[in-house]
Structure 1
Amino acid sequence: MFSLKKSTTLAAAALFMALVLPAGAFAEEAADTAAAKPAAKSAAKPAKKPAAKKKAKKGAKAPVKAKSAAKTAAPATGKAKAAPAAAPAAQEPVQEQAKETKAPVKEATKEATKEATKEATKEPAKEEAKEQPKEEAVEAAKEQPRDSLQHPANILVLRVNGSVITKQALDRAVKVMLAQNQVKEPLSPEAQKEAEAAALDQLTSAELLYQEASKLDMPELDKQIEEKVAQNRAKFKTDAEFIEALKSIDMTMQDMQDFTRRDLMINHFIEQKFIAKAVITDAEAKKFYEENLDRYFKKPESVRASHILVGSDEKATPEERKKAKEKAEALLKRVKAGEDFAAIAKAESSCPSASQGGDLGTFGRGQMVPAFEKAAFALKQGETSGVVESEFGYHIIKVTEKQEAGAEKFENAKDKIADFLKKQKVQKELISYIDQLKKSAKIEKN
């Protein structure tokens, strides 16, 4: 039952939002943007009246309360994408950890990054930009040849031990960071400044990690780069679409290969220096379990049910309601006579869940309208209700699974807990390590 959120994966990019800003993040962001346009055009119009609760992935609906939510959802494991998107799941331990880990990194360089963005405006290209609207200035800069001094690729923002972070790199970092966190643009001047400061801090951290990673030998690096780039290319139907997506963020194939190289090297470094050495004892896992028993390991009562709905909303006339009830009673007789419940639901139910044989999936208390919930939870597994009236019409409910309230056993959760705590430990050690690198590094604002 207990599981870890995807964003806890120990890729460098997952530790600090878009810390490494791997090439995959750019490809995914561009792909998502491209896919969103046709999806928006073909999106189905919302139904005029709710008939039932939505079933994940299958589009089924059920008689759900308007304010119901997945209260019992636990964090889920898996590999992260390039960066965790902002989410409101306050129950998840990794999100609380993220709040703790972001602060020291951000505060350590807050003043420096603010000054860096201010000082960057001293470049010739920026001076010219003052004479025209901001949007036009940005577009004009992009249209400059790459060998032009006015191109963002040639505008210096920061030096980290002699390595350059350009305006182009900063702009890309901000773009990806905002896209991944679903922040709409344009931002206010103050918010834009904060975003640039955060992105510059992440780029600085990534550069310091890359410099340390360069000291390690990484077998078959070129082969891994080739495979990773091919994976990103596979997200597009044609080479032309892939190249166009790269152009939309002012990136070339060489840029993508370079970013991929950095990402792989940094993750290899983190694996060797931190992950491989992190150890969690059974005692530590047990302590976490006991301290968070109510929060993560309690399992609420739940049922899985199917239903046949004869729809008749509150606007229906008394005569229409009567006919709907009579139809439901006739269908109930067929069910009791031995006909297949799912087959009747597919043929007769007015709920979208009909296509799944009336299956509504698993739900807990407080998620369905009162009349439906009371009837469903009163049934034993395998039992079928009588005709149940709700504001949506008349239901025949069959409970297919029933889970009593309880708690997940420590032995079943131990490995997942240890994995989560290991990730937490590596996060803390990595943040501390980066802070030390920053203290000894030569970081020069332009």
Structure 2
Amino acid sequence: MADLFDTGAKVAAKTQPLADRLRPKTLSEVIGQEQVLGPDSPLGVMLAAGSLSSLIFWGPPGVGKTTIARLLADETDLQFVQISAIFTGVPDLKKVFEAAKIRRQNGQGTLLFVDEIHRFNKAQQDGFLPHMEDGTILLVGATTENPSFELNAAVLSRAQVLVLERLSLADLERLAQRAETELGKPLPLDPEARAALLEMADGDGRALLNLIEQVGAWSVEGKLNTEALGKRLMRRAAQYDKSGDSHYNLISALHKSVRGSDPDASLYWFARMLTGGEDPRYLARRITRMAVEDIGLADTHAHRVCLDAWETYERLGSPEGELALAQAVIYLALAPKSNGAYVGYKAAMKAAKQTGSEPPPKHILNAPTSLMKDQGYGDGYSYDHDAEGGFSGQNYFPDGMKRGVYYTPVERGFERELKKRVDYFAKLRAQRQT
């Protein structure tokens, strides 16, 4: 009977997924995340002091959020309870809290791990607060979305947010070596194909182990090259949520690459968004905004290039129309940059809000009625076309308001010419007023 039991255990172990078989048994076995687990890191300091607070793990899939939470429970002698916000409703939460209360009365604490915690609505998130405060549970939440946007301020104020990063290629290589030891054989890949396999995982340790499990099951002679590997394995789809954090991170990267006059980086982030499934119309709108905000009057043709590219996309559709958008991105990256108009507009808006009730000076008001003429409307107005040089230099700001200077052109592109004009009129204005 004992032999049968041992045989069954061995068979079960073999059928267990490789990712589960290689799950770390202690925190020291976790690969990567030194910024969270090192001796001087937040968790390292907490564990050394024997005082663990509620936590929010923020990071992409497959970087160890669940594993670290489970090991923290072992390190602190807490009962590990795991739930998912996707499958857990209010009745289920009540049962979890009641069980934790009973456990606490019996001298056992509870580490409640909530996967996808951002999926809970505000009311559900508020339900955790009293149990966190009275010590019934120690909450460890996991999220792939920015906690600043997705979690209640009350929850965030009672928990420390720890950022977990995607695994580096060096981390993935260590994980691959550990997997080969578990499998008892090396992967049948040449060095280039091995590097390609690590790239396929895209920083996701779980994804890498799943890929390795497939490769390890193949019966091949010799070692496969990159081409052969590509035929047998599909590249893992890039992580991209068109309404989530990845969306905002990538559009920020594209915008700043354009602003930084780097056409190669700009094309890369543009391509990343397209391959992630981003709507090209959204990109067309955003690059047009870049032309207005960051190129402005330094290149008055830039926004026209964007609008033409946008129209071309509407006529051609995908994928041909996307090339027109790519050309617009390159044009913007290489165009002279100025935010003078953008800064001037914002400054004028601020001044308008502060002086919103001030009327225009009477000399620039029309006087279509005799009453308005009697009130002084239009008195003293100088018709600029009749003035010397076509410029009167009159005041057009409200009476008593200090003249504002909002638009300051830069010495780049077409704005060099505009700066000459601004300086010219400023000099004339000073002469006229004296």
Shorter-chain TM range is under 0.3
Task: Give the alignment's TM-score, normalised by structure 1.
Answer: 0.19
- When Rg is computed on C-alpha atoms for both structures, the one with the higher figure is 2
Task: Give the alignment's TM-score, normalised by structure 2.
Answer: 0.19
Query: Normalized per residue, which structure has more strand?
Result: 1
User: Structure with the greater relative contact order (CA < 8 A, sep ≥ 6): 1 or 2?
Assistant: 1
